[in-house]
Amino acid sequence: MMFSLHRLKIIIGLVLLWFCANAIIFFINRSVKNLKKRHLYRKSVVYFASLITLAVGLHIVLPRVNVSLILGIGSAGIAMALQEAVLSLAGWLYVLIRKPYDVGDRIEVSAVKGDVIDIRAFQTTLLEVGNWVDGEQSTGRIVHIPNSFVFKHPTYNYTRGFEFIWNEISLVITFDSNFEKAKNILLELGNKWSQDKESIIAEKIRRMADNYMIHFNKYTPIVYTSVVDSGIKLTLRYMIEIKQRRSTASNIFEEFLKRIDNEPDISLAYTTYKLFYEPEHKNAD
């Protein structure tokens, strides 16, 4: 009777524990405005309550058994039967300690790209970007990836440490256009959208050089010129935040089109075809 009463008290205590945990989560959702901090606080409460529940559960089920001995004997079997699960759990610990990415980062792994929206013990959840959608924008799909991927595939982080990427946009003008004027217009637009970011980029590169062998000789916009079949190709290369890639490119294209509308010596090139018709000659009688 005493043992049953003791066990009942423990169960009631666990119920109260999870009631308090849910109350704390409710308070966090109402009081914490920062989405990332709110998510981290919620996860911390759940992890804490789960650890206490696991410890109490082992105490109830195995009150007089050497838990360390049982875990030692069963570890080999668990590792064989749940190899992927164990590797995913190890990946989770690696992510927590080394932090190759965190909630809110944009990463790419095994041809899947997205923003990290949740990190759990066995899987990482991404909000997918790209795929059939251009410009690094969201597809709306949720992707769950086992944490074991951190040991099996390269992980590309777009935002951790240095959130800028090199982006390139290209235009083709006709051979008879004033390519130098068009090049200067494109470069001017690139500088316009990058001028307030150059000092930030330089400072971030300086900080990264403290930890990595990284050095950029040039991080200001530049325009490259090449010749293609249909005309002269101008390619603007500039640095931009990954999440502003599409909007910035759209603004540059629109302003360039408006500028050359008043420039009669600049025309966009397009593929053209010429057809020749040779009339049939009648044989003279």
Q: Does 130 lie in the same domain as 91?
A: no
| Positive or negative: CA dihedral 146, 148, 154, 157 | positive
Query: At which of 95, 112, 147 does a domain end?
Result: 95
Q: How far apart are CA 149 and CA 151, in angstroms?
A: 5
Q: Encode pLDDT of 216-261 as tens digits.
A: 667 788 899 999 888 899 999 988 887 788 888 888 999 999 988 8
Query: At which of 64, 95, 126 does a domain end?
Result: 95
In terms of Cα–Cα distance, which of 157, 53, 146 is closest to 106? Answer: 157
pLDDT for 220 equals 82
Whether the CB-CB separation of 122 and 92 falls below 8 Å is answered with yes
Six-digit token pair at 79? 């590792």
CATH number at residue 246: 3.30.70.100
CATH number at residue 124: 2.30.30.60
Stretches in the chain below the pLDDT threshold 50? 1-2
- Number of structural domains found in the chain: 3
- Tell whether 269 is covered by a domain: no
Q: Does 253 lie in the same domain as 174?
A: yes
In terms of Cα–Cα distance, which of 252, 246, 250, 203 is closest to 223? Answer: 252
Q: Does 149 lie in the same domain as 91?
A: no
- Tell whether 175 is covered by a domain: yes
Whether the CB-CB separation of 151 and 91 falls below 8 Å is answered with yes
The CB-side HSE value for 213 (13 A sphere, CA atoms) comes to 0
- Tell whether 172 is covered by a domain: yes
Q: Does 81 lie in the same domain as 48?
A: yes
Helix (H, G, I), strand (E, B) or coil at 91: helix
Q: How far apart are CA 162 and CA 210, in angstroms?
A: 13
- Tell whether 271 is covered by a domain: no
Long-range contacts of residues 5-12, Cβ cutoff 8 Å, at least 24 apart: 7/60, 10/56, 10/59, 10/60
pLDDT for 1 equals 46
- Tell whether 279 is covered by a domain: no
pLDDT for 235 equals 93
Q: Does 175 lie in the same domain as 109?
A: no
Q: How far apart are CA 13 and CA 56, in angstroms?
A: 10
Domain range for residue 195? 164-260
- Tell whether 276 is covered by a domain: no
In terms of Cα–Cα distance, which of 269, 260, 240, 251 is closest to 176? Answer: 269
Only one residue has tokens 């001017």, namely 188
56 phi, psi to nearest 5 deg: -65, -40
- Tell whether 278 is covered by a domain: no
pLDDT for 200 equals 74
Rounded to the nearest 10°, the torsion over CA 199, 201, 204, 209 is -110
| Positive or negative: CA dihedral 139, 141, 147, 148 | negative
